[in-house]
Amino acid sequence: MSGPEKPKVLDEEWSDERVKSFLFLSPYDARVNPDFHVLIKAYQAMRAEDFERFVGFFAEAGRDLNAVSEDGQTILDHVSEHRRSVDYVKTLQAAGAVTAAEAGK
């Protein structure tokens, strides 16, 4: 028998606890900004609806929505590069995220 034993799950509902768990992720490299790290991991793993909830929890926790990567990008810079990220961009902009150029970084 080939293939996974469990079928692939699509559009799984994420609990608030699961979404919030991304707030506690830590980068392996100390040079990586922890706020940028959790934002990028959440963006990569979450559907747009879950990411919107995460951004709310992230802001409530007092985290920096405009943290920059080692390359000088904010999360909005990174997400804006992807064609299918319109909902993510809208979420970030509504929460106050800016590009590195807008932030003067």
Domain boundaries, the chain: 17-103
Q: Can you give the pTM of this predicted structure?
A: 0.86
Close Cβ partners of 93 (under 8 Å, ≥ 6 residues apart) = 76
Whole-angstrom distance, CA of residue 90 vs CA of residue 22: 20
pLDDT of residue 12: 76
SS3 28: coil
Structure tokens at 60: 């409530």
Residues of the chain with pLDDT under 50: 1
What is the C-alpha separation between 28 and 84, in angstroms, rounded? 28
Cβ neighbors of 50 (< 8 A, separation 6 or more) are 14, 19
